[in-house]
C-alpha cells in the first residue's frame, strides 16, 4: 500500500525525460504533504439563464451639472437583461465575494461581489482572481518579460513577487464589480 492509502501502478516514461518527471513528482509529493487552501465558495453563472429583463429609463443620468431633460424621454422605455449585459460566457463565469481592502483604489471593496470570466485571457494590468501557494486573492496582474507580480491598489499592501518554487494559478479575469453605494 502506498503512503496515499491506495493501490499504485507502474508507468513508463522515455529515458530522456526520466529526471524531469522525477523532479515534477517530487514537487507534487511535497504539495500533497501541504494541502492547498480550499477554493472559496463561488457561484457559477447558469448555462441557460432565465431572462431577467428589467425596465430601464431611456435617459442617461448626469453625475455632473444638471441639464434640462427632453420631454420625449418620458415616453421611451427599454428593457435590460442583466445576464445579457454582464455575462458573456455563462459556462466560464463565476461570482466571488471580496474580503479585505487591498483593491479599494480601483473601487473593489470588502463585501463586494466580483464577476469573473475564466475564458478571457489575462494580460498585464488585468484585475484577476488567482491562487498564490493556495491562497485565493484578487489583484492586478503585472507581466513584463519574465517578471510577474501581483499588485494591490492600496498603499498599505506591497506587491507580491514570486521566487523559485512558488505557485501562481490564475483563475480568471474580473469583468464587473457589484457593490452597494455608501
Q: Which residues are catalytic?
A: 102, 139
Place of cell 487552501: 37
Instruction: Look up residue 174 and give its DSSP letter.
Output: E
Q: Compute how many other C-beta atoms are within 10 angstroms of the C-beta atom of residue 117.
A: 19
State the cell numbers at 66: 444638471
Strands (E), the chain: 43-44, 53-57, 77-81, 93-97, 113-117, 127-132, 135-144, 147-151, 160-161, 168-178
- Count Cβ atoms below 10 Å from residue 141 Cβ, excluding itself: 19
Amino acid at each position: 500500500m502506498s503512503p496515499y492509502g491506495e493501490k499504485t501502478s507502474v508507468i513508463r516514461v522515455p529515458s530522456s525525460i526520466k529526471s524531469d518527471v522525477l523532479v515534477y513528482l517530487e514537487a507534487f509529493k511535497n504539495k500533497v504533504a501541504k494541502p492547498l487552501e480550499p477554493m472559496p465558495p463561488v457561484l457559477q453563472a447558469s448555462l441557460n439563464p432565465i431572462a431577467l429583463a428589467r425596465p430601464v429609463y431611456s435617459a442617461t443620468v448626469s453625475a455632473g451639472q444638471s441639464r434640462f431633460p427632453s420631454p420625449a424621454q418620458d415616453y421611451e422605455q427599454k428593457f435590460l437583461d442583466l445576464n445579457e449585459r454582464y455575462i458573456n460566457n455563462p459556462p466560464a463565469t463565476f461570482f466571488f465575494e471580496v474580503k479585505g481592502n487591498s483593491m479599494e483604489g480601483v473601487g473593489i471593496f470588502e463585501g463586494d461581489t466580483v464577476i469573473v470570466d475564466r475564458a478571457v485571457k489575462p494580460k498585464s494590468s488585468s484585475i484577476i482572481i488567482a491562487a498564490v501557494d493556495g491562497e485565493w486573492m484578487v489583484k492586478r496582474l503585472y507581466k513584463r518579460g519574465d517578471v510577474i507580480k501581483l499588485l494591490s491598489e492600496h498603499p498599505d499592501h506591497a506587491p507580491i513577487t514570486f521566487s523559485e518554487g512558488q505557485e501562481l494559478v490564475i483563475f480568471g479575469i474580473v469583468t464587473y464589480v457589484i457593490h452597494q453605494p455608501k
